[in-house]
Structure 1
Amino acid sequence: MKQKLLLTLLLIFTIKLFSQDSKFTFEANYPTPIDNNFLGKESYGIIDVGLKYKAVDIKPVKLGISLNGGVLINNSNQNNGPLDFLVTTYTIQPKGFAELNINAIKKLKPFIGLGYTFMIFQVSGTNNGFDVSGESETQSGFGTNLGIAYDISNKLFIQVQYDFTKLNVDNVPDIKYNTNVNLLKIGLGLKI
């Protein structure tokens, strides 16, 4: 039974792979924190992956939903005297988006998104001799994104996008730091 189910899913995926009008896209991006950022100056991106579904086509705009997840690292406190810990940030970003299809430039597709961002900060290492591995904190806030994609072929595209999130830190007393998260993402996508 499992083999038949797997074969059916593989067949559906293969048919979708060769279809011209794909509603789903898979993307892999390299996220880079930019500007004065909540994540810190020493943060750098590892990967950001996403899945988009284009639900409605209202010419010339396509509306849809997307889900992205990413990993960023801040190692500014590693090997820093009594501080020796690493902060790994996991991002989860559900969004709604609108993509503009311009007839004069069919390969170029600007898009805009609105959604919510969840950031999970996971600590590993020591702080003043105390093991802080496993400690975590979650922050979240509304976010927007703006970008442009360029079709290399019928199935493959490249993109660049800017994500802005304003974190809600009202529950944390005496906040004296920037609560903005600015990410530049450069990546490659596949229409499936």
Structure 2
Amino acid sequence: MYRITLGTLGLILCINLINAQEKRVSITLAYPFAVGETYLKNQDVAADLGLGIRVFQTELLSIGVSGNVGYYSDSRTLGSRKLKEKTWLIQPRAFAELHSSSLGGLRPFVGAGYSFLSDKSENFDGNPNSNAGGLNLNLGTAYNFSSRFFVHLQYDYVNVSRGNQNQRVDLFQKINLLKLGVGINL
């Protein structure tokens, strides 16, 4: 019964999005910068892909769901050992976005959700793989430079809860990211 209800709601949402006059779906590509003394600061490669769906819209406000998937990679030498680490950060959330003609194309937004973090390390003593999660809060703004394309800047704060008591240091508990990117409204 649960699957049928969930499938029906998904179908209604898809039909609603396809028939909508307004652009309700957006896709973003961003480069995330770690801010301050935080986990993911020393990553060599970083990229973030996002998807947002505006479920409810008025002339002033949109409420919806969004998600980001971030990939981070780090390679470094510690003594005589090479360490390779790959991290995936998955961030589903609910958001609210203001849009008004008086804002001149700016769309400020806030969001909250729960993030999932997966680390995979090579050439590392101890547990080479770890998974964690935690509260994710974000805020930012997007600027429409055409009816379809926009640039965006967002700040994400993630408070990570880890199962490993040896990693209960502030560096591994908090992630502060500033994301700068481009997007398209579909």
Please give the range of the TM-score, normalised by the shorter of the 2 chains. 0.7 to 0.9
Deviation at 1:176, TM superposition (A): 4.2
Which string of whole-angstrom CA distances, capped at 9 and with x for unpartnered residues, describes residues 129-184 of structure 1? x9x8xx32111001100000000100000000000000112x32244411110011
Q: Secondary structure of 1:91's match? A: strand
Q: Which residue of 90, 94, 97 maps to 1:96? A: 94
TM-score normalised by structure 2 residue count: 0.81
Residue 45 to residue 181, structure 1, CA distance change in 2 (3 Å): farther
Deviation at 1:79, TM superposition (A): 2.4
1:145 partnered with 2:138? yes
TM-score normalised by structure 1 residue count: 0.79
1:70 partnered with 2:70? yes
Tell me which residue corresponds to 2:185.
191
The amino acid that maps onto 1:159 is H
**Whole-angstrom distance in 1 between the partners of 2:89 and 2:147:** 30
Matched residues, percent identical? 27
Q: Which residue of 139, 157, 167 maps to 2:160? A: 167
The amino acid that maps onto 1:85 is L
The amino acid that maps onto 2:164 is V
Tell me which residue corresponds to 2:46.
46
Q: Secondary structure of 1:186's match? A: strand
Residue 102 to residue 45, structure 1, CA distance change in 2 (3 Å): farther
Structure 1 residues without counterparts, runs of 5 or longer:
1-15
Over the aligned positions, Cα root-mean-square deviation in angstroms equals 2.1
Tell me which residue corresponds to 1:58.
58
**Whole-angstrom distance in 2 between the partners of 1:85 and 1:105:** 47
- Please state which structure has a larger fraction of its residues in helix: 2
**Whole-angstrom distance in 1 between the partners of 2:113 and 2:85:** 25
